[in-house]
Structure 1
C-alpha cells in the first residue's frame, strides 16, 4: 500500500514535487495539496485538481482536517512558515520532510546520511539546493581523507530563483555551510550563491573546493566521487560531475596550504522538466531529493504500520 502524503505549499517547488510523485513513484501517493489562496487563483492547486488530488485552501487548518488520511507531509513554503508548522505536524503525528532552509530537524542528504537520521526524528530537513548538490561531494572526499576546509559556489539562473529563494539567501548560506560540516564532514565549511541573469538561462552549476592533506590519493578521491555521483543519479537523473577532482596548482589558490592541497571539482544539475524548465536544476534537485527521502521513509516503515502513529486509512 502506498504511503499517503500531503504537500503544503502549491508554488513552483510544491507543484514540481507533485508531478514527480505522480509520474515516477510507486511508493508515495499524494492525497492533498494545501495552499492559502482560492483554487482558481493558484496554478499549483489547479494542477492538483486536474490530477485528481484533493486540495485545501485554508493552510494548516486544511491539513488538520485530513491528518488521519496522511503519513508524510512535504513542507514547500518558507523557513519562517515551517518553523510555525513543525510543532503542529509533530502533534498530529506526521512525518515532515522540510524543503525550506528552516532546519528544524536534522539535515538529510539521501545518498549520505538518511539511515543515520531516520528513526531519531519525525522532521527532516533537505538542507538547500546547493547543499543537496555539493555536500555529497565533500562527503565523498572526507571518507577518503580528512577535509580541513570545504567551500561550495552554487550558480543558478536568476529566473529559477523565486521570492522564497531570494528572501532566504542568508538562511541558504548559513544552512549550506553548516551542512558541509555536519553532513559533509568538512572541519570548516563555506557556501556562496550566485544568481546569474544570463539569457538564455544557465543550468545549475556548482564548484566545490576541498582542502586536504597533500599525501591524499587523488585516484581514491575520484573513485569515491564517482560512486556518490552514481548513487545520487538514482533519484536525481540530471546530476553530473563535469570536472572530476583536480589539484589546484595555481599560485593564487587563495588558501594558506602549508602541507595541504586543494581539490576542485564541478557539477551540473539539469532538471527533468516535469513542471519547471530544465535549467531550474536548483529546484529540481530539491524535489527529487525530497521524493528520494520519502521513498526511503516508506521503505523503512515497511510493515511496521502507519508512520508516527497516524491512524490507518
Structure 2
C-alpha cells in the first residue's frame, strides 16, 4: 500500500465567520490540508477561542504576531478571510516569506478564480482571489451560457440573510459589487457585467438566493440548458447545497420588440436567459441558511486541494 502523503500545513487570517467555517470544513473533510494556525485581532473572538480548544495555535496580534509564531515557517497556504483593505499588507508580508495566498476578500490582487471555470489556468499563481460569494455562485452560470452563445450582458442579484453577513462582509459591500462585476466579464466571459447584493433581514433567515440574467445571441435552448446543468453538477460536487431553484427561463427579443439597455444606450435583440439558484450551507459552523459562507469557503478549499493534488502527482511522476 502506498504511503499516505503528509497533509499540507495551512493558516487562516481572520477569526470571523468565514475563517471559522474554513477551520471546520478543513478539519472535517480535507484529506490534503491541515490548519495549524488561526490569526485574528480580537482575543475575545469566538473563532480564536474555538480554534484554541481544537488545539490550533492562535494569535490575536494580526499578521505581525503570525510571523513570530513557530508554526509560521511550515505554513504553505494562507487563507485571508479579513477585508480588502487589510489584505494588501497581508499579501505583501506573506509574499516576502514565500507563502501562497488564497484571498477570500474582494481585494483582487491576484487573478480571479472560480474553481469550476478557470482554476487550471492559475495553478502556479502566488495569490489567487476567490472573487465573492455571489461571484462563486453565479459566474459559473454566466460561463455556462457563454460556452454556448456569446453573452452580451450579464446581471446577477445575490440575496443573503442579514445574519450571515459579518463585519467583514458589510465593510466590503462596495468592493463586492465592483469585484463581482469585473469577474462576470473577465471570468464569466460577458461583454458587460453588473452585480447587486441584498442583505435580507427576514426572520426566520432565508437561504442564499441568486438570480442570473444573461442576454446572449439567439441559440438552441436545449444546448444552453444542458450546459447550465453540467455546471450545476460540477459545482454541487464540492458545494452539495448548490442547486437550481426552478427551471431555466427563456425569453426572446426580436427586431419588432427590442430590449433597451440604458447603461449601454443600445437596443438588444436575442435571447434572455434567467437562472434562479439556491445555496444551502453545510452548517459546519453557521446555520444552513448561510450558503454565502459555505460556497466561498468550499471554493477556497477546493482550489487549495486541487493545487496540492496536482503538485503531489507531479512529484510522484
Q: What does residue 81 of structure 1 align with? A: 86
**Residues in 1 aligned to 2:85 and 2:225: alpha-carbon distance in whole angstroms:** 39
Q: What does residue 179 of structure 1 align with? A: 183
**Residues in 2 aligned to 1:254 and 1:200: alpha-carbon distance in whole angstroms:** 38
Q: What does residue 123 of structure 1 align with? A: 127
Deviations 1:190-219 (A, max 9, x none): 0011111111111000000101112x1111
Of 227, 231, 239 in structure 1, the residue corresponding to residue 230 of structure 2 is: 227
Worse overlay, 160-169 or 170-179: 160-169
**Residues in 2 aligned to 1:238 and 1:276: alpha-carbon distance in whole angstroms:** 14
Of 19, 23, 43 in structure 2, the residue corresponding to residue 14 of structure 1 is: 19
3-state SS of paired residue (2:128): strand
Aligned-pair RMSD on alpha carbons?
1.7
Of 289, 299, 302 in structure 2, the residue corresponding to residue 289 of structure 1 is: 299
Deviations 1:202-248 (A, max 9, x none): 1000000101112x111111111111111111111110011333213
Q: What does residue 211 of structure 1 align with? A: 215
Tell me by how many angstroms 1:249 deviates: 5.6
If the length of structure 2 is used for normalisation, what is the TM-score? 0.91
1:99-118 maps to which residues of 2 (within 5 A)? 99-118=104-123
Deviations 1:241-291 (A, max 9, x none): 113332136989664654312110110000000111111111111111111
In the alignment, is the contact (CA less than 8 A) between 1:136 and 1:228 conserved in 2?
Answer: yes
In the alignment, is the contact (CA less than 8 A) between 1:221 and 1:245 conserved in 2?
Answer: no
1:297-308 maps to which residues of 2 (within 5 A)? 297-302=307-312
**Residues in 1 aligned to 2:214 and 2:41: alpha-carbon distance in whole angstroms:** 43
The structure 1 segments of at least 4 consecutive aligned residues displaced by more than 2 Å after TM superposition are 248-259
1:61-72 maps to which residues of 2 (within 5 A)? 61-65=64-68, 66-72=71-77
Worse overlay, 159-168 or 180-189: 159-168
Structure 1: state its 5+ residue gaps.
306-313
Q: What does residue 192 of structure 1 align with? A: 196
Of 236, 239, 244 in structure 2, the residue corresponding to residue 236 of structure 1 is: 239
Relative contact order (alpha carbons < 8 A, sep ≥ 6): 1 or 2 greater? 1
3-state SS of paired residue (2:151): coil
Query: How many residues in Structure 1 have an aligned counterpart in Structure 2?
Result: 301
If the length of structure 1 is used for normalisation, what is the TM-score? 0.92
In the alignment, is the contact (CA less than 8 A) between 1:204 and 1:279 conserved in 2?
Answer: yes
Q: What does residue 309 of structure 1 align with? A: none
**Residues in 2 aligned to 1:87 and 1:304: alpha-carbon distance in whole angstroms:** 29
3-state SS of paired residue (1:207): strand
